[in-house]
């Protein structure tokens, strides 16, 4: 399917700039205010008595202007004053408008740079908090989220390509070796290995599809008991726990919640499989509990704690990143403990779809303590 054509913005008619409009507004306000003040003075001057002024000494000549002459002079001076006020208001308004709108120019420049792909740029507008600094901080936060999302998308695409390429490369190598020397091949072993490799590719593809669906469709919710969902998940991983020699201890108390039973069961299975596969080589254990969440009233939780190697605190928050395993990007050599690196990423997506919280902390003696918290029903 071809991509939809890119729509271009509709051209807008060119009008006055915001700076010019503000300048004209300042000038008009100054002129109107000055006109009103002069009108008040002019009206007041009309109440001056209109009689000739004479001196008390008849021999002294007094040349005093009449009211009409005063009003005429006042109008002339007012005209010059309004012209000067208009010029000062226009020049001052232009510089004031430029100073006020300067933050918008910085934000516009950052928006153009972001549109060109430069998401690392930040405005970091200084000064007291006002509408412009709030807009700048919100824009910087949006850029930071976009950069994180874009970087995560790039890493996801690169890692997904690598993970999907691995089984295909292994399959190609086995087929090339078999074609080079078909007479000395153990065809039963070859077919088994090809089936295992093909199954791994199918599992990765299905996990990717599930992860993509969780980000686009809202799950259908219904009342359920998280304890019952956890018991179903425990039954699904019982054989794997026995094969790995891991002891599973459970304490499933009632945990009424609202959610999608299929997705929450998948989240519990993924947490259990992660706890089983990233455990001690021998003598490992997993502890599973459900019940009320003491950290938050009105919430229930599922906790899964396992023994295992010590984890650095700074690496634990990255475990929900797709294709990141307990040993980094390297898969386990033991096929029974090997995963595709999407388990915790799917759990995080399911938790977000249920408006829950997923907490991952390193266990004191080694291993991982995972907590899935949901709003109680």
Confidence at 1, pLDDT banded by 50, 70, 90: very low
Report how far residue 67's alpha carbon sits from residue 150's, in angstroms, rounded to the nearest whole number. 78
Q: Are 163 and 201 in contact (CB under 8 A)?
A: no
Task: Clarify whether residues 195 and 303 are in a common domain.
Answer: no
Task: Clarify whether residues 319 and 189 are in a common domain.
Answer: no
Task: Clarify whether residues 85 and 38 are in a common domain.
Answer: yes
Confidence at 299, pLDDT banded by 50, 70, 90: very high
Q: Are 119 and 147 in contact (CB under 8 A)?
A: yes
* 133-142, 143-152, 207-216: range with highest mean pLDDT: 133-142
Residue 8, pLDDT above cutoff 70:
no
Task: Clarify whether residues 245 and 293 are in a common domain.
Answer: yes
% of residues, the chain, pLDDT over 70: 77
Task: Clarify whether residues 350 and 277 are in a common domain.
Answer: yes
Residues 6 or more apart from 113 whose CB is under 8 A from it? 121
Determine, yes or no, domain membership for 203: yes
pLDDT in tens, 239-261: 888 889 999 999 999 999 998 88
Confidence at 104, pLDDT banded by 50, 70, 90: confident
* 92-106, 209-223, 318-332: range with highest mean pLDDT: 92-106
Determine, yes or no, domain membership for 44: yes
* Tokens read off for 244: 């790995």
CATH number, position 201: 1.10.287
Residue 364, pLDDT above cutoff 80:
yes
Determine, yes or no, domain membership for 76: yes
Determine, yes or no, domain membership for 147: no
Instruction: Tell me how far apart the terminal alpha carbons of the chain are, to the nearest angstrom.
Output: 44
Task: Clarify whether residues 238 and 341 are in a common domain.
Answer: yes
Determine, yes or no, domain membership for 281: yes
Task: Clarify whether residues 235 and 325 are in a common domain.
Answer: yes
More confident residue, 126 or 207: 126
Report how far residue 100's alpha carbon sits from residue 126's, in angstroms, rounded to the nearest whole number. 14
pLDDT in tens, 330-354: 444 455 455 556 778 888 888 888 8
The 8-class DSSP code of residue 220 comes to: P
Q: DSSP letter string over 190-211?
A: HHHHHHHHHHHHHHHHHHHHHH
Other Cβ atoms closer than 10 A to 123:
19
* Tokens read off for 300: 């229930």
Residue 9, pLDDT above cutoff 60:
no
pLDDT in tens, 22-61: 788 888 888 888 888 878 777 777 666 665 555 556 665 5
Task: Clarify whether residues 238 and 319 are in a common domain.
Answer: yes
Give the pLDDT score at 349: 82
Q: Are 372 and 347 in contact (CB under 8 A)?
A: yes
Domain that holds residue 232: 222-375
Mean pLDDT of 152-163: 66
Q: What is the pTM of this model?
A: 0.55
pLDDT in tens, 301-322: 999 999 988 888 888 887 887 6
User: 3-state SS of 25-91?
Assistant: HHHHHHHHHHHHHHHHHHHHHCCCCCCCCCCCCCCCCCCCCCHHHHHHHHHHHHHHHHHHHHHHHHH
Determine, yes or no, domain membership for 95: yes
Task: Clarify whether residues 274 and 365 are in a common domain.
Answer: yes
Mean pLDDT of 89-100: 81
pLDDT in tens, 178-215: 888 888 888 888 888 888 778 777 766 776 676 666 66
pLDDT mean across residues, the chain: 78
Task: Clarify whether residues 200 and 231 are in a common domain.
Answer: no
Task: Clarify whether residues 227 and 208 are in a common domain.
Answer: no
CATH number, position 260: 3.30.565.10
Confidence at 286, pLDDT banded by 50, 70, 90: very high
Task: Clarify whether residues 190 and 280 are in a common domain.
Answer: no
% of residues, the chain, pLDDT over 90: 16
Determine, yes or no, domain membership for 345: yes
- Tally the domains of the chain: 3
Residue 96, pLDDT above cutoff 70:
yes
When mean pLDDT is compared across 84-88, 240-244, 357-361, the lowest value belongs to 84-88
Determine, yes or no, domain membership for 284: yes
Report how far residue 275's alpha carbon sits from residue 287's, in angstroms, rounded to the nearest whole number. 9
């Amino acid at each position: 399917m071809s991509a939809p054509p890119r729509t271009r913005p509709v051209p807008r008619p060119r009008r006055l700039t915001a700076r010019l409009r503000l300048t004209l507004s300042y000038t008009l306000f100054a002129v109107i205010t000055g006109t009103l003040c002069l009108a008040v003075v002019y009206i007041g001057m009309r109440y001056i008595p209109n009689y000739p002024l004479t001196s008390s000494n008849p021999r002294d000549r007094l040349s005093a202007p009449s009211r009409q002459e005063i009003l005429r002079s006042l109008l002339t001076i007012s005209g010059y004053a309004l012209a000067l006020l208009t010029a000062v208001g226009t020049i001052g308004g232009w510089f004031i408008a430029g100073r006020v709108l300067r933050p918008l120019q910085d934000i516009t420049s950052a928006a153009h740079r972001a549109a060109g792909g430069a998401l690392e740029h930040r405005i970091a507008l200084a000064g007291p908090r006002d509408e412009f600094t709030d807009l700048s901080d919100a824009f910087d936060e949006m850029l930071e989220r976009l950069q994180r999302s874009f970087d995560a998308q790039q890493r996801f695409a690169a890692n997904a390509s690598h993970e999907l390429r691995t089984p295909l490369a292994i399959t190609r190598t086995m087929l090339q070796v078999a074609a080079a020397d078909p007479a000395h091949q153990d065809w039963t072993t070859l077919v088994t290995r090809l089936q295992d490799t093909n199954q791994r590719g199918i599992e990765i593809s299905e996990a990717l599809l599930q992860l993509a669906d969780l980000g686009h469709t809202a799950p259908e919710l219904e009342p359920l008991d998280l304890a019952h969902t956890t018991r179903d998940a425990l039954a699904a991983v019982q054989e794997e726990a026995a094969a790995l020699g891991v002891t599973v201890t459970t304490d499933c108390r009632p945990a009424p919640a609202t959610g999608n039973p299929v997705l929450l069961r998948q989240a519990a299975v993924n947490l259990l499989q992660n706890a089983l596969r990233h455990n001690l080589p021998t003598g490992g254990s997993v502890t599973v509990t459900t019940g009320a969440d003491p950290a938050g009233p009105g919430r229930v939780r599922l906790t899964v704690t396992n023994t295992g190697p010590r984890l650095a605190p700074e690496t634990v928050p990255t475990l929900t990143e797709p294709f990141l395993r307990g040993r980094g990007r390297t898969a386990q050599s033991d096929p029974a403990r090997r995963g595709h690196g999407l388990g915790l990423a799917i759990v995080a997506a399911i938790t977000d779809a249920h408006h829950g919280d997923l907490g991952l902390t390193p266990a004191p003696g080694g291993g991982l303590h995972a907590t899935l918290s949901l709003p109680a029903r």
